[in-house]
Structure 1
Amino acid sequence: MPLKIDDLPTAIRHAKRELRARLPNYRDVFAAVEADMNAQATHIAALRERGESVIPEIAFEDIAAQRVDAEHIALVKARGACVIRRVFDRKLAEQWDRDIADYVERNRLDAKLPHRAEDKYFGQLASSKPQIYGVYWSKPQVLARQSPALTQARVFLNRLWRAQSEGRVHFDPDRVPVYADRVRRRPPGSASLGLSAHCDGGSVERWIESNFRKVYRHVFSGHWRDYDPFDAAWRTDVEEIASPAVCSMFRTFQGWTALTRQGPGDGTLQLVPIANAMVYILLRALQDDVAEDDLCGAQPGRALSINPDYHAPLFRALSSIPTMDAGDTVFWHSDVIHAVEDAHRGTGYSNVMYIGALPSCAKNDAYLAKQRASFLEGKSPPDFPADDFEVDFEGRASADDLTALGRAQMGFDA
């Protein structure tokens, strides 16, 4: 159920008073958190400046053979992100890229883009033009989502979470529902901006909504070292403010699949690879230099912006992901700060399909029923602006393109 807040300034003032009353030493607690974040960010920056990778990398064949060692898993959980190499054959991914290009060109998508619904989700960010297109149902996207290999990779990621805690089972990690998302097609030398640093999956709700507070219970009680970003308790119960492009499903990881070779400088993804950075963000907003009706600039129904004026230590860790080949994937925890480089200085397209990792739970299963109707009609999924570009697109995927696994992931067999 979407969260509604009628008087946001009053709600913020009330939330701050309440949270500070529960944590009277909020200044001292934040000082300890800030020192920890400075140390983590400095370490990551030093690794990056030495030319070392700061995003863990895993070969898909190691996931398939169940031989990813404990050290790699611990690093993925500390950084909140990983690159999984060779999930798809490079030539297949490159063919998918050509097929998507043909799909959008044959159906004259560019002529429809000027008439698209206004999407204000990224509107508060200094950079907010990542060249993401409202295409969800091309055959390559549908085929990739239902792929057994990508499904196996996402089950691996789901299992990094604590699916059972606080006396409850939160989700089934082995069932992977589809969350239909868009594509990015970024030409070389493009003048458009990327995306400034932000988090998805909730903005002001994190301080105000009761289940979000339970997710971050250890943070708001001052026991922040006990906070586990991979504990799913109450995450499947949170209520978000409805807005186009706000994900109303629970994602264990956001992610994308590379359709072209791309690397740093090619307008690619950037991450702050600190899994518990949300601790800093949450407590920073309670400090005395932030106005009583402000949460460091957080706006309802928008991406949660990360601002150098408030969150400067985290920016030292902001790092571009390593070079990706077509068929590689990257995933980042749903609370991890991310951005997209402003400039694309490369020589080729920087193209991806957005496909995250999700588990089966009541929250996600409820969304599937609405999304399934959108798929059958070729409409934009419920979480996105209602452009409905694909309703008359030639070559759109249909139910006949779904495998048994694809049907289950779309909820047809529920």
Structure 2
Amino acid sequence: MLSLRLPIRNLAAATSKRSVVIPATQKPAGDISSVFPSLSGVASAPLQPRFATLKSKFLKGNEEQLQASWDRLTKALKREVEEIGEMGTKVIPTIEYKDIANASPLDIAEIKRRGTVVIRNVIPEEEALQLKADLKDYIRQNPKAKAFPAASPAVYELYWSPSQVRARSHPSLLKAQTFLMSMWHSSSSATQISVKHPLTYADRLRIRLPGDAGFALGAHVDGGSLERWEDPEYNAVYKKIFQADWENYDAYDARHRVNATMDLYNGAGSCAMFRMWQGWLSMSNTGPNEGTLLVNPLLKHATAYTLLRPFFAPSAANPNSLSGWRIPETTTPEFPGAVPAASQEFNDKWHPHLNLSKTMVHVPRVAPGDFVAWHCDTIHSVDRIHKGTGDSSVLYIPAVPLCKTSTEYAVRQRDAFLAGVPPPDFPSGDGETGGGMGGLSDVLGGEGRRAMGLGNDGWSLEGLEGGERDIVESSNKIMGWN
């Protein structure tokens, strides 16, 4: 692989033991639309016959059990859809940042059930507004940065502004991420993962202006699409669902997720880190229909439906009915909404039992400094039209635990930051050459530096056992720390 060695600003302050070699990016230039066929408008080719063989492997000898499981699921979904239709936005849990340390078991259970939460006042409002003001200046300094839609920019291919660097390393945000990750566990004590040591993932930003209808991102789930069935470790995450026991599926067991391959096709939207929770930090006062997020708060039911849906089809005698769906006699290669190198997408035609018009609900009104998070398997979308009067502005910041794949990516990401090039997961480009890029002085605190792989002080091993101790010890080595 080609590589280039670039001058590093204040490298000695970051580390005295490393030189930085940035691999030539393998991602083509582009923007966020390349992640979603529904945004790009590029039609996907039909899936190859091998996908029919893949489906048959799940079905063989398990047809009756899966049919019974599907029937239970669709009945349960009908009840859940009615409840969500009645509650709407009120179903989304909210909690104050000051209360997360003492969150009740009932609060945590509801957050886990819904797969979404709004954490209020993670950083002070005036601080969040200053982040946005500084971002606007940064955008003006970098007029060559790509953005989508091109005619009315909303999502910018910018990653290293001072605001983004400060926000990702903010002590309060790291504590909020740790709170969210504490809801996860592993069914094996040997799993090499720690939810107590968050890593930073550099992502984009959004400043969506009133009236925008271009960034009309439809219902989808990130983390790949076909990979959920193709990759052995990834489909092991959903073993209970494939075993016709979706009721006992645990969406918060990290045992197989840490080694799952979520990108078999070098997709434009691939994520090399394990994002337990996706999230964004609000920099504006934004409510429903004002360019904000919608989620499907039926995590267990919707995930089971997603994984089972390719195996079932409506009755030929009554194709418009939601009842009477069966496993067809002939197995086709179709996986509705799933294509190589893209996120899993949803619509009413492909996934009618989800009743997306009822179950995709807005997150509550947010203020600057609020943090919105959703489980990595939560279906989510964006308002098709921004009908508000103010901007809808966020910094995308997920919650990433310490595990081998994430640590390895963090090293590459750290070097990209120090050299001032796009993170490895994202499109190539030179949009941040206009000046003003964030530097080491914008990284806040020791935990913030470690989360970005900076400095020379590794994580302590004191009090750690099993797989958690193993991953902290090996991550220290991967980072180049003692």
Q: TM-score, normalised by structure 1?
A: 0.90
Specify the alignment match of 1:400 in structure 2.
441
1:270 alignment partner in structure 2: 294
Deviation of the 1:348 alpha carbon: 0.7
Look up the equivalent residue of 2:405 and give its one-letter code: K
For 2:190 and 2:139, the matched residues in 1 are separated by: 45
Distance 1:377 1:159, change over 3 A: same
- Partner residue, 1:76: 111
1:190 to 212, 235, 239: 212
Q: Distance in 1 between matches of 2:144 and 2:393?
A: 16
What percent of counterpart residues are identical?
Answer: 34
Give yes or no for the alignment of 1:284 onto 2:323.
no
Report if aligned partners of 1:256, 1:352 keep a CA contact under 8 Å in 2. yes
Report how far residue 190 of structure 1 moved: 1.8
Name the CA shift for 1:367/1:17 in 2 (closer, same or farther; >3 Å): same
| 1:245 and 1:385 in contact (8 A); partners too | no
Matched, 1:172 2:194: yes
Q: Cα deviations across residues 272-319 of structure 1 (Å, max 9, x unaligned)?
A: 011211111110111145861110131011110012112223212110
SS of 2:198's equivalent in the other structure is coil
Q: Is 1:349 matched up with 2:386?
A: no
**Aligned position for 1:307:** 347
Distance 1:22 1:179, change over 3 A: farther
Map residues 27-176 of structure 1 onto 2, 5 A cutoff: 27-48=67-88, 53-63=90-100, 66-109=101-144, 113=147, 131-162=154-185, 164-176=186-198
Question: Counterparts in 2 of 1:219-238, with a 5 A limit?
Answer: 219-238=241-260
CA distance in 2, matches of 1:130, 1:194: 12
For residues 115 and 83 of structure 1, the distance between their equivalents in structure 2, rounded to whole angstroms, comes to 27
Aligned residues, how many?
A: 389
In the alignment, the residues of structure 2 paired with residue 193 and residue 102 of structure 1 have an alpha-carbon distance, to the nearest angstrom, of: 22
CA distance in 2 between partners of 1:98 and 1:232 (Å): 38
Give, as a single letter, the amino acid of the residue that structure 2 aligns with 1:397.
Answer: G
In structure 2, stretches of 5+ residues that fail to align are: 1-25, 27-45, 315-327, 457-478
Residues 148-190 of structure 1: per-residue CA shift (max 9 Å, x gap): 100110000000011x313532410110101000001101112
Residue 115 of structure 1 and its aligned partner are, at CA, apart by: 12
Per-residue deviation, 1:218: 0.5
Distance in structure 2 (CA, Å) of the matches to 1:210 and 1:107: 43
Q: Is the 8 A contact 1:22 1:221 kept in 2?
A: no
CA contact (8 A) 2:128 2:283 kept: yes
| C-alpha distance in structure 1 between counterparts of 2:103 and 2:189, whole Å | 29
Q: Distance in 2 between matches of 1:114 and 1:200?
A: 18
Letter in 1 for 2:76: D
TM superposition shift of 1:114: 8.9
Measured in 1, the distance between the counterparts of 2:125 and 2:203 equals 21
1:22–1:220 Cα contact (<8 Å) kept: no
Partner of 2:29: none
Show CA shifts across 1:328-349 (max 9, x none): 0100000000000110111111
CA deviations 1:353-384 (Å, max 9, x no partner) are 00011110101001011111211122111111
Q: CA deviation at 1:223?
A: 1.3
Partner SS for 2:236: helix
Task: Indicate how the Cα distance of structure 1 residues 113 and 80 shifts in structure 2: closer, same or farther if over 3 A, else same.
Answer: closer
State the distance in 2 between where 1:44 and 1:155 align: 28
1:218 aligns with 2:240: yes
SS of alignment partner, residue 405 of structure 2: helix
The question of 1:23 aligning with 2:58 is answered no
Following the alignment from structure 1 to structure 2, what is the Cα–Cα distance between the partners of residues 38 and 166? 34
Written as runs of structure 1 = structure 2, the 5 A alignment for 1:364-383 is 364-383=406-425
Residue 130 of structure 1 contacts residue 194 of structure 1 at CA under 8 Å; is this kept in 2?
no
Q: Which amino acid aligns with 2:137?
A: D
Instruction: Measure, in 2, the Cα distance between the counterparts of 1:130 and 1:269.
Output: 18
| Change in CA separation of 1:130 and 1:293 when aligned onto 2, cut-off 3 Å | farther
Contact 2:276 2:376 in 1 (8 A): yes
The 8 Å contact of residues 256 and 331 in structure 1, kept in 2 or not, is answered as: yes
Query: Cα gap change, 1:252/1:367 in structure 2, threshold over 3 Å: closer, same or farther?
Result: same
**Is 2:293 the counterpart of 1:251?**
no
Farther off after superposition, 87-96 or 37-46: 37-46
Give deviations 1:86-106, integer Å, cap 9, x for gaps: 001001101110100010012
Alignment-mate amino acid for residue 310 of structure 2: A
**2: distance between equivalents of 1:400 and 1:324?**
29
Please list the CA deviations of residues 230-256 of structure 1 after superposition, one character each: whole Å capped at 9, or x if unmatched.
111210111122212211210110000
Change (3 A) 1:233 1:386: same
1:199·1:304 contact (CA, 8 Å) conserved in 2?
yes
Q: State the Cα distance separating 1:207 from its structure 2 match.
A: 1.0
